[in-house]
Amino acid sequence: MSDPVKTMKQEVGRAAAARVKSDSIVGLGSGSTAAYAIEYIGDRLAKGEITNIQGVPTSFQAEVLAKEFKIPLVTLDAIDHIDIAIDGADEVDPQKNLIKGGGAAHTREKVVDSLAKEFIVVVDEGKLVDKLGSTFLLPVEVIPMALAPVMRSLAALGGKPELRMGVRKAGPVVTDQGNLVIDVKFDHIKNPGEMEKEINNLPGVLENGLFVGVADLILVGKIVDGKPEISEF
């Protein structure tokens, strides 16, 4: 029995991978739908549909997948641009602003996605919201020594901060950079652009999960009558 949700994520990933052209440098995102995009880029390379692709992974997960699907990888030191990036999101508002960081890779994702000439977001319709912060906590990556003061500052901004703890692991989640993640509940984020800057200005904060004005195209998968459909905006 095929799982319609899985099929839908695959179709969204496939639609994004179809937009990758030969001779391009591609930002490879993190998360379940982006993972299918990586797989299909690898497929297209193997079939010779596209050639001369270099991938820039946004996380250890993306790096492992890219190697599995034989996508040549390159670091940011070795390139001066990224043509296209494909990544997931935890929330998307009507202005294409995002909250990311459910997988704690948002710092590297923001570096790569912001550099890309075209940034495509792959999501299912459950990630669409009217206002950011309504369903998902805002992740903030912080250096360990600054944890207590940053949590106090986030509370002063009106948030309810909690240290993200590991699942099937004792202790907190540690990012690929060796830092900690604070998840912050805001009742609603009125001005995501201001909030992004304000949080990033707190000493000890490396990056937060608000992506404002970065996404170019949102590919949205949904299930209609048991079949996957993809729309875009």
Active site residues: 109
- Using the 8-state DSSP alphabet, how is residue 77 labeled? G
- The DSSP string of 155-172 is HHTT-EEEEPBPSSSSSB
Single out the residue of 22, 136, 32 nearest to residue 86, CA to CA: 32
Written as one letter, the residue type at 38 is I
Written as one letter, the residue type at 180 is L
For residues 7-32, one letter each, b for 16 or more C-beta atoms within 10 angstroms of the residue's C-beta and e for the rest, the string is: ebbbbbbbbbbeebeeebbbbbbbbb
Q: Can you name the residues that pair with 107 across neighbouring β-strands?
A: none
Single out the residue of 227, 65, 37 nearest to residue 123, CA to CA: 37
Q: For residue 151, give both structure tokens.
A: 């949590």
**CA–CA separation, 131 vs 91, rounded Å?**
9
Written as one letter, the residue type at 155 is A
Write down the residue that tokens 């690929």 correspond to: 176
